[in-house]
Amino acid sequence: MEVNKKVLIVDDEAPIRRVLEFKLKNSGYQVLIAHNGRQGLELIKTEQPDAVVTDIMMPELDGQQLCEQSNALKQARPFLTIVVTCRIAQDEQQWINQLQDTLFMEKPFSPARLVECIDQYLGIKR
């Protein structure tokens, strides 16, 4: 089922990028890939994805900085951000809760569950 929606994957781990790309493409999404936060921010601005899946621990610009800097763009054009992380600290959940349309998903996560979240946000029914 082809979905005319773009999902941006931001992760420095190649195996993660690969499996998410595969799963999202299988679900009919157009997939954009970024290796770090800086590339991801550029693609958010230029490609205007409908959803962003990002890791936190990344070189150059980490996931928290990416989310905070891209949050301002959501007022003009809302989009979903799913933060996948292995951190368990409470302060991490706090800054995620303060951002618009941002979800928290703890590693290890299920690719199917991730796609369900994106489908639900974008109102896609299968």
Partner 1 sequence: MNRIFRQKAGLTRLRFIIVPLAMVVGIATIALALANHDKKQNMRQIYTKGNYLVSLIATHPISSLGNERRDIVLKTLAKFTYPQGVAYCIIHDAAGLPMIVLTPKDMAAKIPPAVKTKSLYAIGLTQQKYQMNGSPKTFYEFATPMFENGQKTGTVRIGFNLPQVSFFSIERMSLLAMICFLIIAAVTFVYYGITQVLHPLTHIPSELTTLNDDSAASIENPQDSYSIHALVQRLGQALTRLEKKLKDTESENVELSTRLGVATFEKNQIVNILDATNYGVVITDIQDNITHANTFALSLMNKQLAEVLDHPVAEALPNKDIAQFAARKGSTQPVSSPHHIETTFDDLAPDETFRVTFSYLRDDDGTPIGKIISLKDITHEIQGEKTMKEFVTQLAHELRTPLTTITAYNEMLMDDEIQDPEVKKEFYNTIRDETSRLTQLIHNLLNMSKIELGGLTFNKELVRTDWLYQDCINAAEAAALKKQIKVEKLVPDNFPTLVGDKEQLKVALNNVLSNAVKYTPQNGSITFSLFESDQHVIFEISDTGYGISKEDRPRIFDKTYRSSDPRIVEQPGSGFGLAITEAIISAHGGMLEVESEPGKGTQITIRIPQEAYDLGSQ
Residues in contact with partner 1 by the rule CB under 8 A: 12-13, 15-16, 18-20, 22-23, 26, 36, 57-60, 84, 86-89, 107-112
**Nearest by Cα to 48 from 86, 28, 77, 24:** 77
Q: Which is nearer to partner 1, 19 or 78 (CB)?
A: 19
Q: Which residues pair with 80 in a beta bridge?
A: 51
CA–CA separation, 6 and 43 (whole Å): 11
Q: Which is nearer to partner 1, 73 or 117 (CB)?
A: 117
Residue 6: half-sphere exposure toward Cβ, Cα within 13 Å: 10
Q: Which is nearer to partner 1, 5 or 23 (CB)?
A: 23
Q: How far is the CB of 31 from partner 1 (least distance, A)?
A: 15
Q: How far is the CB of 55 from partner 1 (least distance, A)?
A: 9
